Chains A and B, each alone.
Chain A
């Protein structure tokens, strides 16, 4: 385990461990100091990311603080000056052997059939120090063999050694107190409440931290033995850039384990990511390029089917279509959508292909569900650790982190519960952190700006009800006072799209107010205010840094201000500023786009304006898609490239902080699938430009050469678990003055809010069998008082009508939703809220018809 950054620089506490002097850090636990000193103290219950409980007693060692050596649990005792620690004394050995024997009394001898066998601390300890045979002749404890505690995790109580790790995780890390100790003494067991499963987005972590084989994961059970696994450390492609260890056997990925990055995920993963490897190995994976053909499989540009073909055919067809479009309609008739899931190198290659080779700036990695690149790159950026600075303030101007950015939720939760960080919610509905929030400013949809103005002390007159943007003015004033009171500590705004039923401009207007406030604070010598942007899709921040957005070039540079190095390598640049996703699809719908390239993008499923996406895809003559799995948009494509997944190639990833970390290959690409950088290079070659890349490393070298923001990055830094931060940006965000007018709500209507839930219709989720069924039932949520007015029972199906469309959905009351607001998930597999969304106004008002 690495020493936490914060410990490295402090003045040491002088202790002696097994006769050797060691400079420990103030407040460090003996067990942690010993580990850093190279002395391993056996333990089962101690976990560096959770509070110590001193339960297993395995780590007791002789500790002398001046009153003679005494056996003490090294996981509970902090170091003190001149402390003498002896982990090898006869007394220590005897006690530890005793504990080990006690633990084995009731532990079954089923190592040969146990998933944990080979990576089990209890087994390792027993092999190293345990007695040859048992002195216990009594009957062991018996329980029903593994019981499912939820859809993903099994619990074998006979193997459990009651270390409190899983229950502690559920309690203090995830906050899902659904597994607890039950009964007492030697009858103590871990279990759920009857018929109330351990429904946690994070349950897989308990499997990872279980020191024995008591908790096993359904997707991994009996799949492999640890000694057959090879592994690499990598980065999971999500906006947090969670560090993972990817494990594989026989060229197949079998498991992701969280890696403990002090800067990022602390070893945790959300189940949605942990078990998504199933999608990687899914039968649905694209293994070969596809082109249009006849039902008999014969390639035919006018064919109704997608048929397998060779890479040569597919690439040539694609290059020809692009050339023809450029020739006939100019480069702006080609557009590139998506790419947010790709590694940095691939994004860069596609960006260069689009902007330098084709000459189009019509590129957008986001699907109109994020924020303008200028805002993301122009606002001062915070790190996760900054957001979690003890005593600091976090303002949530984003969707629920618990639903969308699992490990950030865990980090924030820790900061709120343990480090006295205060949370101010500036959101239209409650989040998974609301119960920990100091202030909950749940405003009317699309009216965050007014609340933000008042929050930073600006003039904003309350309405007749004493409210600002639907929030009681007194509540806003109280939050403003709290914010001001802690202005000497960092303030971090988590910035995202709090609702996809309102335009990004609503959020930007509020963010601009906060940014100005931050500047004032900084001018006053305070730490100021920074933003941790949270957008959807894996490497979206890499995409922005690599220039996969209109008006941008790689290295956080505007299209209008290319640096000489880039100009030299790229040669030419687009003549006119390009369109964003909405603009591209609008142009496409109007017949102005001849070739639309989709990089892992599924606009039919993801574009907020579903109708527009459908029209666009119907109107574009040639749709080219590059993807790992088929989706509704690839089904409409004319050419589909089979892309490699992140475990099948090397690369780098950029997270929300701008942190670049490595992704490493562990298995060969599925069938003939190719990494996107190679596809882009091939197309470039066919279009007459030789990139000359032979590996992602070549591309990265080019990026570091010509992207100003990336020039300082050192390979060695990238090799470290925490990677390297990209900080510089030459993009200036002027702020947004645009405040969307919001019509008043009539008393029969409710105003709609829609955000993503953890489990939804995402392609990866739906192709991972263990995850596909985990979406909560679609439910329209109303405040209790609004619900009561309907006069129906909970979960009654109602008809919901807006100006745009209608749908049928069950309705329930929820304290998470303020009066006058209705919430419906954005990404539900069965109910598509987009049928209701109003694109003419900033808000969508709905009416509910009961039958």
Chain B
């Protein structure tokens, strides 16, 4: 079923990844999070440049950059910005720093290592779109990121980059309010994030009508952007949208940060050219994941976080590019690549992922609330040796009732994609490794 992976290929010779670092350029500097180091390395020049431009022009640059959202859905940020209805005020910016998708680890680093870059990105977005207050929602469990951001904000306020009369301008004044979550994965979903920010239970709202860009925080137009997305803005404005678009692939521009974890020799967080690097590169290259441990073979890998259908050997040469991955039946999602080698107990891994969604279901929609926990109970029972032969079909039928047709992209009987996300690992695992389940259900 699994084959030994061929020798890893290095990335194409003409691309030097370190030259292409955009958002992680200060990660090597232990002081990179301070204002002094930030300014020394060109920080806040993007904001200054933006303020010399008309706001609409700043938006144009972001459009020209074709910057795809880095949170999971991969929607172009410039287009999303354009969805704000005209003449409805105020408008808000909400920064989604609630990174919690299993396997995903990049936004926390961006907040801890380069908080000013994020802050500058926020201010550029506010300037471009006339957003009059920004809320920076950081996952509750990330105490260190909260600290770094608080310190950076305090510096940025004092130095005039945030707050009243930004950079000495007469009219551009925006507060950034640092806000902590308190432990709920679902809050990473943008409408749930808004609910949470309003002091409510983080239960998603139905879209339509509650597209945040039109009806968001306090019912007002709200741009919800991911940390990595916003962290790209200073570079884009300082260097121009076209320069950004020139990097990476045509449909997936710039660079992207991926976390490679699981059964690799060198797990790590890597910023790579978006769209031109392959899975084989990032998993096997010595520059990146460093390949599997000796004598191990690849069983499966998750290309884009726990919600994504699994990929296998035959997908390794796909580029880390949105369209290609979508077409192959999965997603790049949140930039989380989790590698499972041949030692992996597939049933346990599947159970692990399903348990996550069952625990994190908000409880609003019946199919997700009842369905995910039912799936988890069945899988627990199977793992405990209490499985029945009919349980495998039952699993699939329950999946079908949460996500009709068990297709990709998923259809859903629920408001948000959390419930259908629990279907991905089951569908993947049962399709490829049914015999391993059958071994549990005599």
CB neighbours of A243 from chain B (8 A): none
CB neighbours of B404 from chain A (8 A): 71, 91, 94-95
| Given A57-B365, A95-B404, A70 and B411 contact (CB-CB distance below 8 Å) | yes
Say whether A162 contacts B363, CB under 8 Å. Answer: yes
Say whether B363 contacts A188, CB under 8 Å. Answer: yes
CB neighbours of B358 from chain A (8 A): 185-186
Interface residue B143 (Cβ < 8 Å from any Cβ of A):
no
Residues 350 to 381 of chain B near chain A (Cβ within 8 Å): 358-367, 369-374, 377-378, 381
Query: Shortest distance in angstroms between B371's beta carbon and chain A's nearest beta carbon?
Result: 6
Say whether B413 contacts A185, CB under 8 Å. Answer: no
Say whether A71 contacts B411, CB under 8 Å. Answer: yes
Interface residue A120 (Cβ < 8 Å from any Cβ of B):
no
Q: Which residue of B lies closest to A161 (CB)?
A: B366
Residues 43 to 63 of chain A near chain B (Cβ within 8 Å): 53-58, 60
Say whether B206 contacts A73, CB under 8 Å. Answer: yes
CA distance A101 to B362 in the complex (A): 19
Interface residue A745 (Cβ < 8 Å from any Cβ of B):
no
Task: List residues of A whose CB falls within 8 A of some B CB.
Answer: 53-58, 60, 70-71, 73, 76, 91, 94-95, 97-99, 101-103, 105-106, 135-136, 138, 161-162, 181, 183-188
Interface residue B415 (Cβ < 8 Å from any Cβ of A):
yes
CA distance A95 to B365 in the complex (A): 13
Say whether B415 contacts A54, CB under 8 Å. Answer: yes
| 15 A/B residue pairs, CB under 8 Å, sorted by A | A57-B366, A91-B404, A95-B413, A101-B401, A102-B374, A103-B366, A105-B370, A105-B374, A135-B394, A138-B374, A161-B366, A184-B184, A185-B363, A186-B373, A188-B369
| Given A105-B374, A185-B360, A98 and B413 contact (CB-CB distance below 8 Å) | yes
CB neighbours of A60 from chain B (8 A): 413
Task: List residues of B whose CB falls within 8 A of some A CB.
Answer: 184, 201, 206, 358-367, 369-374, 377-378, 381, 394, 398, 400-402, 404, 411, 413-415
CA distance A135 to B363 in the complex (A): 21
Say whether B359 contacts A138, CB under 8 Å. Answer: no
CB neighbours of A184 from chain B (8 A): 184, 201, 361-363
Q: Which residue of B lies closest to A102 (CB)?
A: B370
CB neighbours of A70 from chain B (8 A): 411
CB neighbours of A94 from chain B (8 A): 400-401, 404
Say whether B362 contacts A57, CB under 8 Å. Answer: no
CB neighbours of A162 from chain B (8 A): 363, 366, 369
| Given A98-B367, A186-B370, A57 and B401 contact (CB-CB distance below 8 Å) | no
Say whether B370 contacts A103, CB under 8 Å. Answer: yes
CB neighbours of B362 from chain A (8 A): 184-185
CB neighbours of B371 from chain A (8 A): 98, 102
CA distance A138 to B371 in the complex (A): 13
Query: Shortest distance in angstroms between A491's beta carbon and chain B's nearest beta carbon?
Result: 27
Say whether B367 contacts A57, CB under 8 Å. Answer: yes
Q: Which residue of B lies closest to A183 (CB)?
A: B363
CB neighbours of A55 from chain B (8 A): 364-366
CA distance A186 to B368 in the complex (A): 9
Say whether B361 contacts A186, CB under 8 Å. Answer: yes
| Given A70-B411, A136-B374, A185-B359, A99 and B394 contact (CB-CB distance below 8 Å) | no
Say whether A99 contacts B367, CB under 8 Å. Answer: yes
Say whether B411 contacts A102, CB under 8 Å. Answer: no
**Interface residues of B, dominant DSSP:** helix
CA distance A553 to B381 in the complex (A): 80
CA distance A243 to B369 in the complex (A): 37
Give me the 10 closest cross-chain CB pairs, A-B, nearest first.
A98-B401, A188-B363, A102-B370, A186-B373, A185-B361, A138-B377, A185-B363, A102-B366, A54-B206, A57-B366
Query: Shortest distance in angstroms between A534's beta carbon and chain B's nearest beta carbon?
Result: 33
Say whether A185 contacts B366, CB under 8 Å. Answer: no
| Given A162-B369, A185-B358, A95 and B401 contact (CB-CB distance below 8 Å) | yes
Q: Which residue of A lies closest to B373 (CB)?
A: A186
CB neighbours of B373 from chain A (8 A): 185-186
Query: Shortest distance in angstroms between A92's beta carbon and chain B's nearest beta carbon?
Result: 10
CA distance A98 to B398 in the complex (A): 8
Q: Which residue of B lies closest to A96 (CB)?
A: B413
User: Which listed residue, B206, B369, B378, B402, touches A185 by the CB 8 Å rule?
Assistant: B369
Say whether B411 contacts A106, CB under 8 Å. Answer: no
CB neighbours of B381 from chain A (8 A): 138
CB neighbours of B360 from chain A (8 A): 185
| Given A94-B401, A135-B394, A186-B358, A181 and B367 contact (CB-CB distance below 8 Å) | no
CA distance A544 to B4 in the complex (A): 95
- In the complex, besides A73-B206, A102-B371, 5 extra interface pairs with C-beta distance below 8 angstroms are A56-B366, A99-B366, A135-B394, A184-B184, A188-B369
User: Which listed residue, B206, B359, B366, B394, touches A76 by the CB 8 Å rule?
Assistant: B206
CA distance A101 to B381 in the complex (A): 20
Query: Shortest distance in angstroms between B387's beta carbon and chain A's nearest beta carbon?
Result: 11
CB neighbours of B206 from chain A (8 A): 54, 73, 76
Query: Shortest distance in angstroms between A97's beta carbon and chain B's nearest beta carbon?
Result: 8
Query: Shortest distance in angstroms between A259's beta carbon and chain B's nearest beta carbon?
Result: 29
User: Which listed residue, B184, B369, B398, B411, touches A186 by the CB 8 Å rule?
Assistant: B369
CA distance A441 to B402 in the complex (A): 54
Query: Shortest distance in angstroms between B300's beta carbon and chain A's nearest beta carbon?
Result: 27
Interface centre among B360, B362, B401 (most CB of A within 10 A): B401
Q: Which residue of A lies closest to B380 (CB)?
A: A138
CA distance A106 to B413 in the complex (A): 19
CA distance A99 to B401 in the complex (A): 7
Interface centre among B361, B362, B370, B398 (most CB of A within 10 A): B370
Say whether A102 contacts B363, CB under 8 Å. Answer: no
Q: Which residue of B lies closest to A101 (CB)?
A: B401
Query: Shortest distance in angstroms between B282's beta carbon and chain A's nearest beta carbon?
Result: 34
Say whether A99 contacts B413, CB under 8 Å. Answer: yes
Q: Which residue of A lies closest to B360 (CB)?
A: A185
CA distance A56 to B413 in the complex (A): 10
CA distance A33 to B394 in the complex (A): 36
CA distance A713 to B422 in the complex (A): 62
Query: Shortest distance in angstroms between A40's beta carbon and chain B's nearest beta carbon?
Result: 19
CB neighbours of A54 from chain B (8 A): 206, 365, 415
Query: Shortest distance in angstroms between B295's beta carbon and chain A's nearest beta carbon?
Result: 40
CB neighbours of A186 from chain B (8 A): 358, 361, 363, 369-370, 372-373
Q: Which residue of B lies closest to A76 (CB)?
A: B206
Query: Shortest distance in angstroms between A30's beta carbon and chain B's nearest beta carbon?
Result: 13
CA distance A253 to B177 in the complex (A): 59
Q: Which residue of B lies closest to A105 (CB)?
A: B370
CB neighbours of B402 from chain A (8 A): 98
CA distance A184 to B200 in the complex (A): 12
Say whether A181 contacts B201, CB under 8 Å. Answer: yes
User: Which listed residue, A91, A102, A187, A188, touches B367 by the CB 8 Å rule?
Assistant: A102
CB neighbours of A73 from chain B (8 A): 206
CA distance A376 to B184 in the complex (A): 58
